Amino acid sequence: MKKTFEVQSGTTLRCKGWRQEALLRLLENVLAVGEAPEKLIVYAAMGRAARDWPAYNAIVEALLTLEEDQTLIVQSGKPIGILRTHSQAPIVIMANCNMVGQWAKAENFYALEQQNLICWGGLTAGDWQYIGSQGVIQGTYEIFCRIAERHFDNDLRGRFILTAGLGGMGGAQPLAGRMANAAILTVEVNPERIEKRIKAGFLERRADTLDEALALIADAQARREPISVGLLGNAAEIYPQILARGIIPDIVTDQTSAHDLVYGYVPLGHTLEQVAARRTSDMEGLMNDSRASIVQHVQAMLGFQDRGAVVFDNGNLIRTHARQGGVERAFNIPVFTEAFLRPLFARAIGPFRWIALSNDADDIRKIDDFLLRRFPDNLIVSNWIKLARQYVPFEGLPARIAWLGHGERTELALEVNRMVRDGELSGPVAFTRDHLDAGAMAHPNIMTENMRDGSDAIADWPLLNAMINCSSCADLVAIHSGGGGYSGYMTSAGVTVTADGSVAADQRLQLSMTNDTASGVLRYADAGYEEALDEVERKQIGRIDTAAARYQ
């Protein structure tokens, strides 16, 4: 029988305080909404919530007994000790999957993982911040909107988006495309993933043949009506077939787990069972076959680009593996961050999230109302909240994501803390964000590609971000590096703080929400981005101008 994973609801505490209880509920939540919870896998092929089940149980036990002035230390998904700190120190600190530079390779990661010495936390899996496919949906939607502005007179009606991957993150694509009014086709090799997204309300239609899928898309295009279609198939086969028919989508991307050649991408001609068997019997051969399929996949993407489609990489290293497989032009495809989101990140506007810990969806609606009243002129926020209310279903604990910037996040968090204190909400609310945020990530093929000052690969920034969040009394702070196919490609930092209505939470939220985004603005200001320099000047962040002048 399939085990079900549940999250505690209501306001009864099992832990000694809400800070501990919040983290326990978030841990339960990432499994409740994750892709393969029985294996502790949350998303991105092998992003795990904990190292193994004994480690999971030990984390739960620790959170249940932790005092307010203690800190639990977690190393790659395993709790290694509880130390006495003080009542404003983080409740949990973690370092997940950090390997020393020359050792940070996929093969070494797999060997260490097999010895049960390490596990990969993805970005938001290992530090219990994942909120289902909603977590990336506004980012994907914003990318489609920016493309619409730049290339399609701000209107995607009648436009065709082709993509692939309906996993933990990729599953957001059909809904994001539909919300942007496009006709979106997503190719997915695993039928269960298609069914899961239909059931969750993220995907409308399933097609079993390419003819059927293209007919549904063409019909919706002709009527200028949005539609989302999932097609069962392998993208490395379907993309070239669509190209060969001379059908050129308006926008093309991909969100398969192409970053991982062993546990993520499914090579051509393979069933899921065949891939699983080769992981142990022939890992090297499997990596070669995955790379060879990615070559065909990316060559088709370049073919679409040559014939006028707007093509972009959606953050899965597909270009990197294609180039290693010999596709020299792979990096002609731009990455979404540099192409569409950098001006937002330079102002530390990024994917901020909040989660209703009591499991009451009305709490999220009340917070939506506040945002609509407080930021009516901020269209990134107000348009999104209206759309999200209408279209985005809740998965697990009710949660919302919105791209808020420096000062805005602090204001929202403090207001929510007041609402909790005054009994306007039915329970505490946790605040967190994606690691793909201004100050929190060094990822030279995704987040920090082509930084203006050439600082793409410098990982000091996320490490500083984590340290300032620890110094700013956040409840959980995590430092992650890439695992599996991402080994050696990235370092990032995560933070979570709970609004439990207390005065102490006011201080924690004020400091950590403010300093988290401040570190992002300072990172981009140091790289010379005008938006960040403007933000520093207008909001007086960190006084970097006078400091820089003094030290030059």
Which stretches of the chain bind ligand NAD, using CB under 6 A? 35, 43-45, 136, 139, 164-170, 187-190, 193, 234-236, 255-259, 264-266, 314-316, 436
Total Cβ atoms within 10 A of residue 414: 17
DSSP H helical ranges for 307-404: 318-324, 336, 342-345, 361-374, 379-391
Q: At a CB cut-off of 8 Å and minimum separation 6, what does 194 contact? A: 166, 188, 203, 206, 230, 232
Total Cβ atoms within 10 A of residue 351: 23
Give min distance, CB of 291 to ligand NAD, in A.
Answer: 12
Total Cβ atoms within 10 A of residue 329: 14
Give min distance, CB of 489 to ligand NAD, in A.
Answer: 10
Q: Which is nearer to ligand NAD, 142 or 475 (CB)?
A: 142
Give min distance, CB of 466 to ligand NAD, in A.
Answer: 19
Q: What are residue 148's phi and psi, to 5 degrees? A: -60, -45
CA dist 134 → 173, 174, 219, 230 (Å): 10, 12, 28, 18
Measured distance CA(40)–CA(60) in Å, rounded = 14
Give min distance, CB of 190 to ligand NAD, in A.
Answer: 4
Q: At a CB cut-off of 8 Å and minimum separation 6, what does 7 contact? A: 25, 28, 29, 32, 359, 396, 397
Give the residue closest to ligand NAD by C-beta.
167
Q: Do the strands 160-164 and 251-252 form a parallel or antiparallel pair, or are they unpaired?
A: parallel
- Write the single-letter amino acid at 1: M
Q: Which is nearer to ligand NAD, 258 or 367 (CB)?
A: 258
> What is the 8-class DSSP label of residue 434?
-
Give min distance, CB of 286 to ligand NAD, in A.
Answer: 12
Give min distance, CB of 504 to ligand NAD, in A.
Answer: 33
Give min distance, CB of 533 to ligand NAD, in A.
Answer: 26
Q: Which is nearer to ligand NAD, 320 or 378 (CB)?
A: 320
Give min distance, CB of 37 to ligand NAD, in A.
Answer: 12
Give min distance, CB of 315 to ligand NAD, in A.
Answer: 3
Q: Which is nearer to ligand NAD, 398 or 482 (CB)?
A: 482
Q: Which is nearer to ligand NAD, 316 or 358 (CB)?
A: 316
Q: Which is nearer to ligand NAD, 316 or 491 (CB)?
A: 316
Give min distance, CB of 342 to ligand NAD, in A.
Answer: 14
- The answer to whether 493 and 466 have CB atoms below 8 angstroms apart is yes
- The answer to whether 315 and 253 have CB atoms below 8 angstroms apart is no
Q: Which is nearer to ligand NAD, 277 or 547 (CB)?
A: 277
Q: Indicate the length of the chain as a whole number.
A: 552
Q: Which is nearer to ligand NAD, 314 or 517 (CB)?
A: 314
Give min distance, CB of 403 to ligand NAD, in A.
Answer: 12
Measured distance CA(427)–CA(355) in Å, rounded = 10
Residue 417, SS3? helix
- The answer to whether 348 and 439 have CB atoms below 8 angstroms apart is yes
For 214-246, give one letter per residue: b (16+ CB within 10 A) or e.
Answer: bebbeebbeeeebbbbbbbbbbbbbbbebbeee
Q: Which is nearer to ligand NAD, 28 or 188 (CB)?
A: 188
- The answer to whether 388 and 398 have CB atoms below 8 angstroms apart is no
Q: Do the strands 310-311 and 350-356 form a parallel or antiparallel pair, or are they unpaired?
A: unpaired
- The DSSP element (H or E) to which 71 belongs, if any, is strand 70-75
Measured distance CA(382)–CA(461) in Å, rounded = 30
Give min distance, CB of 448 to ligand NAD, in A.
Answer: 13
Q: Residue 460's closest CA among 433, 442, 437, 435?
A: 442
Q: Which is nearer to ligand NAD, 191 or 376 (CB)?
A: 191
- The DSSP element (H or E) to which 43 belongs, if any, is strand 41-43
Q: Which is nearer to ligand NAD, 226 or 230 (CB)?
A: 230
Q: Which is nearer to ligand NAD, 170 or 428 (CB)?
A: 170
Q: Which is nearer to ligand NAD, 90 or 405 (CB)?
A: 405
Give min distance, CB of 357 to ligand NAD, in A.
Answer: 24
